[in-house]
A and B are shown apart, each in its own frame.
Chain A
Amino acid sequence: MRTEALHRNAVILAALVAASVTACAQVTEDQQKQWLGTPAASSHIGHLSGNAKAAAGDYRRYCVVCHGELGDGNGESAQWLDPKPRDFTLAVFKCRSTPTGTLPTDQDLYETIARGLDRSNMPPWNTFTTQQRADLVAWIKHYSPRWQTEKPGTPIEIPPEPEVTPGRVKAGRDVFARVQCWKCHGAEGRGNGPSASTLQDDLGRPILPYNFAEGGRFKCGSTDADLYRIFMTGLDGTPMPSFADNIKPEEAWDLVMYLRSLQPFPSKEKAIAKSLGLTPVSTTSTGP
């Protein structure tokens, strides 16, 4: 009986090992067809409900050239683009309100589609009706197995924005120095920190850190809350990590204010930084 049990377990184990090896295989079109019929291929944004099948025409007309038939980011135009179109089969997204390593909410994707991604070929689709966008969110979710087994993360909490004060802008500079944003973004936020030139995204392609001094829009929204969210959730698929474990909510607002002072536009933050005579953080420390 013992040997029988052993044998049975060996078979189970072998099957598990085989499964873990074949699991790495690519997502197939047949699987995606099947996922199109599952509850995951829907979306809920406020009182709006999106249905994947209703987006098939729009996807083909507007998205397929870049994101591809199978949603794998290999559309006809992809070869000419940098950064590359998102591979929806991986379900790894830059713009999330949810912690690093979790799926975004439907709302996140819905807003991304309307906003587009700055400094990329992903245009804003803000002429679409809200229903069209909700349906496209549902459609995107039929491409990856992750939507079948995982739920979106819980959005991080963002406390109300406090008033901009000299004390906060100065404290923000301390956070910038302490967590060493400058390693990639540079002491003046010019995107030229010591590690900037070596950065690669998760697929091994070169990628540049954001240049605050240039003043372009952030990838994932342009409000203060969007900026807060970007460094507290990270931009998954890129070197930009989450700082949620190491920056307290109060400090996060301080950092937002200091980052604003690095941008070229006139702002209260910038005026304060000037009147305080804030200098770029030191990057020479070699520790004890």
Chain B
Amino acid sequence: MNVEYKRKFTAVVTALALVGIGVVLLGRDRVNAAGSGSITGTVKLTGTPPHMRGIDMSKDPYCVKQHENNPAKMENVVVSSDGGLQNVVLYISEGLSAGEVSAVPSEEPTVDQHNCMYSPHVVAMDVSQKFKVTTSDQTTHNIHPLPAPGSGNIGWNKSQPPGAPPIETNWKAPEAISVKCNIHPWMHGWQVVVKGPYAVTDEKGNFTIKNIPPGSYTVTAWQEEYGTQTAKVTVAAGQPGKADFTFKAK
């Protein structure tokens, strides 16, 4: 092989390789475009919703004052007038490719300590996804997540006095983590860690899980009192999958 020929050969191979990479990248793009599919639905509660007790905040006059005109109630089961169930976490438990499962969203979910309650009561996030804990209260809170032993997550306990900067962190393993404030023992919330795309129902019980490529999936719905339910869903190109869930009041 003379040098000239060798050079040409290298150029051709390089060009081919570049085209190849281009095709692969384009293909990827197509997958990403397909990734804009979604799964939507509604979660409902049938039967008589349990009574949500009012909260006695008299240990902290600041908290009492914030609720002068909107008495605080427990939030374990929050139901709309037509039965929509709020704060249900939905995630895909089967059917995603390994890459889709391991992709970590860049947006940061936030849970705020507001009027001596967790807002929202349930915050969902992906494994390794950064999230924030903020406080808008003029009273000191301590934020104390209590993961189960052996879950792969390790608990901690940090104070947030008025004006404290946000705590920014993440969790390593999928788990519904119970969170407490010891100073205000009525404050209880959840940090629900899942693998892959997720959604949380709004006050009407509606949800949309975004970025789902066409395919067949199992969707799991988690509610703190009623546990989990699953449904099979198919997402077709340009047509969102539909999954409705109904929990029964105990």
Chain A residues in contact with chain B, CB under 8 A? Answer: 5-6, 9-10, 12-14, 16-17, 20, 23-27, 89-90, 92, 99-102, 145-146, 150, 178-180, 183-184, 194-195, 198-200, 202, 234, 236, 238-246, 284-288
Chain B residues in contact with chain A, CB under 8 A? Answer: 59-62, 64-65, 93-98, 101, 137-140, 142-144, 146, 148-152, 154-162, 164-165, 167, 173-175, 182-185, 195, 215-216
For A12, what are the chain B residues with a Cβ–Cβ distance below 8 Å? 98
Q: Are B157 and A239 in contact (CB under 8 A)?
A: yes
For B216, what are the chain A residues with a Cβ–Cβ distance below 8 Å? 6
Q: Are B150 and A24 in contact (CB under 8 A)?
A: yes
Q: Are A241 and B144 in contact (CB under 8 A)?
A: yes
Are A23 and B152 also in contact (CB < 8 A) when A10-B94, A242-B158 are? yes
For B59, what are the chain A residues with a Cβ–Cβ distance below 8 Å? 194-195, 198
Q: How far does the Cβ of A153 sit from chain B's closest Cβ, in whole Å?
A: 10
List the 10 shortest-distance A-B pairs measured between CB atoms, nearest first: A287-B138, A101-B156, A239-B182, A180-B140, A241-B142, A241-B159, A241-B157, A179-B161, A100-B156, A198-B185
Tell me the complex Cα distance, A184–B184, Å: 10
* Residue contacts A-B, CB under 8 angstroms, 18 given: A9-B95, A13-B94, A14-B94, A26-B150, A101-B155, A146-B154, A178-B162, A179-B161, A180-B139, A180-B140, A183-B60, A184-B182, A198-B59, A234-B157, A239-B157, A245-B167, A287-B138, A287-B139
Q: How far does the Cβ of A25 sit from chain B's closest Cβ, in whole Å?
A: 7
Q: Are A16 and B61 in contact (CB under 8 A)?
A: no
Task: Pick the contact of B159: A24, A89, A242, A284 (CB < 8 A).
Answer: A242
Q: Are A101 and B154 in contact (CB under 8 A)?
A: yes
Chain B residue nearest in CB terms to A101: B156
Chain B residue nearest in CB terms to A195: B183
Tell me the complex Cα distance, A227–B164, Å: 22
Q: Are B165 and A13 in contact (CB under 8 A)?
A: no
Q: Are B154 and A150 in contact (CB under 8 A)?
A: yes
Q: How far does the Cβ of A151 sit from chain B's closest Cβ, in whole Å?
A: 12
For B158, what are the chain A residues with a Cβ–Cβ distance below 8 Å? 100, 234, 241-245
8 further A-B pairs in the complex, CB-CB below 8 A; given A179-B159, A241-B144: A101-B154, A183-B140, A202-B155, A239-B182, A241-B159, A243-B158, A286-B65, A288-B138
Q: Are A199 and B182 in contact (CB under 8 A)?
A: yes
For B144, what are the chain A residues with a Cβ–Cβ distance below 8 Å? 239, 241
Tell me the complex Cα distance, A195–B96, Å: 46
Q: Are B152 and A9 in contact (CB under 8 A)?
A: no
Are A194 and B60 also in contact (CB < 8 A) when A179-B159, A241-B159, A245-B164 are? yes
Tell me the complex Cα distance, A242–B148, Å: 20
Q: Are A13 and B151 in contact (CB under 8 A)?
A: no
Chain A residue nearest in CB terms to B152: A23
Tell me the complex Cα distance, A200–B144, Å: 12
Q: Are B165 and A90 in contact (CB under 8 A)?
A: no
Are A178 and B150 also in contact (CB < 8 A) when A239-B182, A287-B139 are? no
Q: Are B101 and A13 in contact (CB under 8 A)?
A: yes
Are A195 and B157 also in contact (CB < 8 A) when A9-B98, A23-B152, A239-B144 are? no
Main secondary structure of the interface of A (DSSP, over half): loop
Q: How far does the Cβ of B62 sit from chain A's closest Cβ, in whole Å?
A: 5
For A198, what are the chain B residues with a Cβ–Cβ distance below 8 Å? 59, 185
For B139, what are the chain A residues with a Cβ–Cβ distance below 8 Å? 180, 183, 287
Q: Are B101 and A9 in contact (CB under 8 A)?
A: yes
Chain B residue nearest in CB terms to A12: B98
Q: Are B97 and A287 in contact (CB under 8 A)?
A: no
For A100, what are the chain B residues with a Cβ–Cβ distance below 8 Å? 156-158
Are A20 and B152 also in contact (CB < 8 A) when A9-B96, A241-B142 are? yes
Tell me the complex Cα distance, A99–B96, Å: 37
Q: Are A236 and B157 in contact (CB under 8 A)?
A: yes
Q: Are B182 and A200 in contact (CB under 8 A)?
A: yes
For B175, what are the chain A residues with a Cβ–Cβ distance below 8 Å? 20
Task: Pick the contact of B61: A5, A150, A246, A284 (CB < 8 A).
Answer: A284
For A241, what are the chain B residues with a Cβ–Cβ distance below 8 Å? 142-144, 157-159, 182
Q: Are A90 and B60 in contact (CB under 8 A)?
A: no
Q: Are B149 and A287 in contact (CB under 8 A)?
A: no
Tell me the complex Cα distance, A5–B101, Å: 13
Q: Are A243 and B97 in contact (CB under 8 A)?
A: no
Q: How far does the Cβ of A134 sit from chain B's closest Cβ, in whole Å?
A: 25
Tell me the complex Cα distance, A141–B137, Å: 40
For A27, what are the chain B residues with a Cβ–Cβ distance below 8 Å? 150
Tell me the complex Cα distance, A48–B76, Å: 52
Chain A residue nearest in CB terms to B60: A194
Q: How far does the Cβ of A95 sit from chain B's closest Cβ, in whole Å?
A: 15
Task: Pick the contact of B174: A20, A150, A184 (CB < 8 A).
Answer: A20
Task: Pick the contact of B157: A17, A242, A246, A284 (CB < 8 A).
Answer: A242
Q: How far does the Cβ of B191 sit from chain A's closest Cβ, in whole Å?
A: 14
Q: Are B161 and A178 in contact (CB under 8 A)?
A: yes
Are A246 and B164 also in contact (CB < 8 A) when A20-B174, A101-B156, A288-B138 are? yes
